[in-house]
Each structure stands twice: as structure tokens, then as C-alpha cells.
């Protein structure tokens, strides 16, 4: 027995190989988020750019992702998950609210989750568009989840007698499509409006379709005062 103390098998610096690999993957994700969401964008970024920004080699990049598109795909799912968690977290508080208040509360939660980080907004609504058939399918699949969620909320409201019962799928699909379209145009600068004004316009569109009336005072100014919706 030499008396030499050796680290547990597969560990270096107190971390396992799996932990070190997870850290490298997160560094690549962070670099991709910055380059795609705040830098030159996906189409103007190379694997070497991401690797350099992450402080890693291209070999280490390819140990985690087969292509740059794979990195974008994972980032797209992650930023959508952030928005989804924001809405799910808001659901308990929405219980018992009147329909107008509930729609307003949940859509504000979505907007806060989707736009709280401008890089998320750009990836979710701009960078993902038209990259490949595979990412188009992924984008449409996530959009379909939002359509299903909205249909479920509207069906529940109809069950409670709060709104007239109908097939809400066309309404939900039209609204979610409008959200994606307007958020894209706002993110690329084609719409001269604040985020608060964009959120209000979309909310009024939904409430108007459901023949609801927003209470007095629920204006763009109210949205601007909300700490989770930034201009």
C-alpha cells in the first residue's frame, strides 16, 4: 500500500465524467443561446464560433451534438419549456377567476415566459423559421400543444357556462398563429410597438373572438406597469 490517495474511478476535480460532460453541454447551450439569440443568428454562426464562445474544442462540440441544427433544436425546445412552465405556474392562481381575468392572467404569464429573455423570443419566433423540414415539424408540434392547451381552457369555460360552447379548435389555431406571426414581426422590428402594446393587441383579439369585454382600465398602460412584461 503506497499511501497515495486516488480519486474515485472516473472522477476528476471532484466531478464524475457524466457531470463534466453535462457541464460542457450547458456551456455549448449557453454559447448557442447567445450567438443565435443575441449575436449573428443561427444562419451566420458556425460550429467553430459556438465552440470558441463556450471555451471548448470543435471535437467536444461534436461529442454533444451531431450538427449545429441539433443545438438549435434543443434550444428551441428549452425556450418553449420556459414559456410553458410560466403558464402552468399561473394556472392555480387563475382558478376561480372570471373568464376575462383568467384569459388576461394566463396570457400575461405566457408573454412573460416567452419574452422575459429577448434571446428566447428571437429563437422561438425568428431563428427557428425555415431552417429545415425537421425543425418546421418540431415548431408546428409545439404550436399544436398550445392550440390543445387553449382548446382545453375554452372547453372548461364552456362547461362552467361562462362562454358559449362551440368547436374552439379553429379559434385556438387562428389565435396561436397570430401570436407567432405578430411576435415574429415585432422581434425583427417590422412592428413599431412596445411589447406591452403587442401583448394587449393579441389579448384583445382573443377576448373579442370570444365575445368578451375587457374591464375598464385594462389598457396598454396597465400592461406597462406589470413588472413581468417589459417594453
Same domain, 180 and 151: yes
CATH number of the domain encompassing residue 24: 1.10.10.60
Residue 230 lies in a domain: no
pLDDT in tens, 146-194: 999 999 998 998 898 888 888 899 999 999 999 999 999 999 999 999 9
Percent of the chain with pLDDT over 70: 85
From 31, 230, 224, select the one nearest 118 (Cα to Cα).
230
Same domain, 26 and 138: no
Residue 147 lies in a domain: yes
Q: Predicted confidence band at 21 (pLDDT cuts at 50, 70, 90)?
A: confident
Residue 231 lies in a domain: no
> What pLDDT sits at residue 97?
87
Query: Which residues, in sequence order, are CB contacts of 29 under 8 Å at separation 6+?
Result: 71, 74, 75, 78
Same domain, 44 and 146: no
Q: Produce one character per residue of 186-209: b if its CB has 16 or more CB atoms within 10 Å, e if not.
A: bbeeeeeebbbbbbbebbeebbee
Among the candidates 65, 88, 107, a domain finishes at 65
The structure's pTM equals 0.83
Same domain, 141 and 31: no
**Mean pLDDT of the 212-229 span:** 45
Same domain, 73 and 176: yes
Tell me: pLDDT of 220 over 50. Answer: no
Helix boundaries (H) for 95-228? 99-115, 118-122, 133-159, 169-187, 195-209, 220-225
Residue 1 lies in a domain: no
What nine digits make up the cell of 74?
Answer: 434543443
CATH number of the domain encompassing residue 80: 1.10.357.10
What's the total number of domains in the chain?
2
Same domain, 122 and 71: yes
> What pLDDT sits at residue 12?
54
Q: Which of 11-25, 89-103, 152-166, 175-189 has the lowest mean pLDDT?
A: 11-25
Which domain range does residue 165 map to?
Answer: 67-225
Question: Which helix (H) or strand (E) segment is 71 a member of?
Answer: helix 68-94
Amino acid at each position: 500500500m503506497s499511501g497515495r490517495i486516488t480519486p474515485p474511478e472516473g472522477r476528476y476535480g471532484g466531478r464524475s465524467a457524466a457531470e463534466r460532460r453535462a457541464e460542457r453541454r450547458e456551456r455549448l447551450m449557453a454559447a448557442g443561446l447567445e450567438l443565435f439569440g443575441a449575436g449573428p443568428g443561427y444562419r451566420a454562426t458556425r460550429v467553430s464560433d459556438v465552440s470558441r464562445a463556450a471555451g471548448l474544442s470543435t471535437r467536444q462540440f461534436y461529442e454533444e451534438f451531431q450538427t449545429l441544427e441539433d443545438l438549435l433544436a434543443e434550444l428551441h425546445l428549452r425556450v418553449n419549456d420556459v414559456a410553458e412552465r410560466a403558464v402552468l405556474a399561473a394556472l392555480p392562481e387563475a382558478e376561480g377567476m372570471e373568464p376575462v381575468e383568467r384569459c388576461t392572467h394566463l396570457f400575461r404569464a405566457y408573454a412573460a415566459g416567452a419574452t422575459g429573455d429577448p434571446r428566447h423570443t428571437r429563437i422561438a419566433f425568428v431563428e427557428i423559421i425555415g431552417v429545415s423540414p425537421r425543425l418546421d415539424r418540431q415548431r408546428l408540434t409545439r404550436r399544436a400543444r398550445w392550440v390543445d392547451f387553449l382548446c382545453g381552457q375554452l372547453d372548461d369555460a364552456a362547461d362552467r357556462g361562462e362562454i358559449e360552447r362551440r368547436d374552439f379548435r379553429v379559434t385556438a389555431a387562428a389565435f396561436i398563429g397570430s401570436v407567432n406571426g405578430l411576435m415574429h414581426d415585432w422581434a425583427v422590428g417590422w412592428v413599431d410597438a412596445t411589447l406591452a402594446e403587442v401583448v394587449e393587441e393579441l389579448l384583445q383579439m382573443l377576448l373579442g373572438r370570444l365575445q368578451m369585454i375587457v374591464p375598464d382600465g385594462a389598457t396598454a398602460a396597465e400592461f406597462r406597469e406589470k413588472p413581468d412584461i417589459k417594453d
